[in-house]
Amino acid sequence: MQKRLLAFAFLLLQVVFPGATRLARAQVEKSAYPAMAPPSQYLMTDRASEVALARSAAPASISDGAEVQVLERSGYTVAVAGTNGFVCLVERSFGAATDFPEFWNPKIRAPICVNAPAARTYLPAVRLKAKLVFAGESNTQIAQAIQSALERKELPALEPAAMCYMMSKQQYLANDARNWHPHMMWFVPGDQAKSWGANLSDSPLLATYDPEDRMTIFLVWVGNWSDGTPAPRDMH
């Protein structure tokens, strides 16, 4: 059972963990999204609905005081000012690694709420990708731009304690992962999975190294959705 759960988790990590290990099943879907869909399909026309969806990433005790950003054709923009240092937004498919098979899937909506260190050092790459997408850049061009920005230190180095909540009942992380497990994630520079004891058969900690963004992302499932209701143990 643990191996099956890990295999499915790694499929999911291609969305919530950019650059994760690829699975054959996911590769089959690659041809379904060969290019960007019309830009309007990635946008939400109701700003209030997008704000509510973004806030659903974390418990209200966190998200009620968070800054909320929404996606426009110019990229992410602040819709609601925050007071506690957290930032909530809805990532789209292009928040993932550029070789993710569903990189252009317009159905994906991934509410995420990051803490202040992650807002300063993880979100800049997310925002840059969004701007490049709406500027008409290809997967290859986006990957090159990210690498160039890292080399030139135009993107900041990850700060210690950078983390996020992804606990929304409404999350759509991939076609095979609707309403997936609520979870928390941590962003750490370099390849650190082994030193944290991640991915072992009896460890609750999952991890993947993302070479594109040069970080390890750790994931732990939690038992409740952001509204406090219990999450089912089976995946769907």
Spell out the per-residue pLDDT of the chain, length 236, in tens: 333 334 334 444 544 444 443 443 444 444 589 999 999 999 999 999 999 999 999 999 999 999 999 999 999 999 999 999 999 999 999 998 888 899 999 999 999 999 999 999 999 999 999 999 999 999 999 999 999 999 999 999 999 999 999 999 999 999 988 888 999 999 999 999 999 999 998 999 999 998 988 899 999 999 999 999 999 876 54
- Residue 143: inside a domain: yes
- Residue 191: inside a domain: no
The answer to whether residues 55 and 68 touch, using CB atoms and an 8 Å cutoff, is yes
- Residue 168: inside a domain: yes
- Residue 107: inside a domain: yes
Task: Find where tokens 């290809």 sit.
Answer: 138
H-helix or E-strand containing 114? strand 110-114
As for how many domains the chain has, the answer is 1
Residue burial 74-103, b: 16+ Cβ < 10 Å; e: rest: ebbeebeebeebbbbbbbbbbbbbbbbbbb
> What pTM value is reported for the model?
0.87
Neighbouring C-beta atoms of residue 22, cutoff 10 Å: 16
d(CA 198, CA 194): 6
Residue 195 per-residue DSSP state: G
- Residue 166: inside a domain: yes
Pick from 13, 20, 12: nearest CA to 210: 20
d(CA 180, CA 169): 8
CA distances from 34 to 29, 42, 102, 105 (A): 10, 15, 9, 9
- Residue 205: inside a domain: no
Q: At 88, phi and psi to the nearest 5?
A: -110, 140
- Residue 224: inside a domain: no
| Single-letter amino acid code for the residue at 176 | D
Q: How many C-alpha atoms does 20 have within 13 Å on its Cβ side?
A: 30
**Domain limits for position 83:** 2-179
- Residue 189: inside a domain: no
